[in-house]
Amino acid sequence: MQNNQIFSERHGFQKQPNPITIRHEAPQRLRKTILDIAFEAGFLPKDIRSIICQMLREIENESNWSDVNVRNECLDLINGCEWFEIYNICEAIARKWVSPYGDENLFEKGLNKYFVEEGIGWKIENGLIVTRGEKDFEKVMTLAKDRLEETKRITAKSELEEAIKDLSRRPKPDITGAIQHSMAALECVAKDILGEPKKTLGDIIGKLKISPPLDKAIEKIWGFASDKGRHITEGKIPEFAEAELTVHLSAALISYLCEKNK
């Protein structure tokens, strides 16, 4: 097969990732780039128009038949929709990718590369857009899920994945759900380690034999989660950053407990 990589890809040059500044929006440059990436991945303009119209419940303009006019129609459609619909369209395009050679999804690969370069707080995995954190967050989440997989704690792994799904909900993330699920994952691991399935994390923190002040850190996180995730007060909804931090810390503590109690 012909090598279609561009110069920077062939020689390993790449832009430095930008800090995440874009999450609950879809800037104009992103909208156009999505189309560019789709066409580069091998989609025809008419294919993309069909996907966009289906997602937006729009009618295709049959008077547009040339590639140029269809591309412009796609751009008009994608420029006129809500920000969260852009990510719905990305998912729909990714799910339509078909390669006769078994190659990786070129659309997902190109989109994820662009998200990182432009500081967009999303990534696409297996046709689903999910929240993306900074490099440390992604590393901690991957390690925690690997540890849970290795120790066959599937319920805890599922709870941690649900926390990510809650952070990823559009147009509005489920903040309290993310906090609840991340702490449920941590609680599940702690109860499994101690063999006390009927206790809460608050009851058994002292039995985990964690060196101070780490034991106090878990206690404080549990208290925050109970206050902000389960026993929420009117007018005191936690912010996205607080939920993301709770998920991050929970994942780090899960990895620590799994490693400590092999």
pLDDT score, position 1: 37
- The domain limits of the chain are 23-131, 135-260
N residues, the chain: 262
Express each pLDDT in 160-194 by its tens digit. 999 999 999 999 999 989 999 999 999 999 999 99
Q: Confirm whether pTM is higher than 0.85.
A: no
Mean pLDDT for the stretch of residues 108-121:
94
For the CA atoms of 192, 169, 34, 51, what is the dihedral angle to 10 degrees? 110
Bridge partners of 108, per DSSP, are none
pLDDT score, position 197: 86
Express each pLDDT in 192-215 by its tens digit. 999 988 888 888 888 888 877 777
pLDDT score, position 2: 44
| Percent of the residues in the chain that have a pLDDT greater than 70, as a whole number | 93
Closest Cα to residue 74, out of 64, 83, 82? Answer: 64
Give yes or no for residue 234 having a pLDDT over 70.
no
Which of 2-16, 79-93, 186-200, 212-226 is predicted with the least confidence, judged by mean pLDDT? 2-16
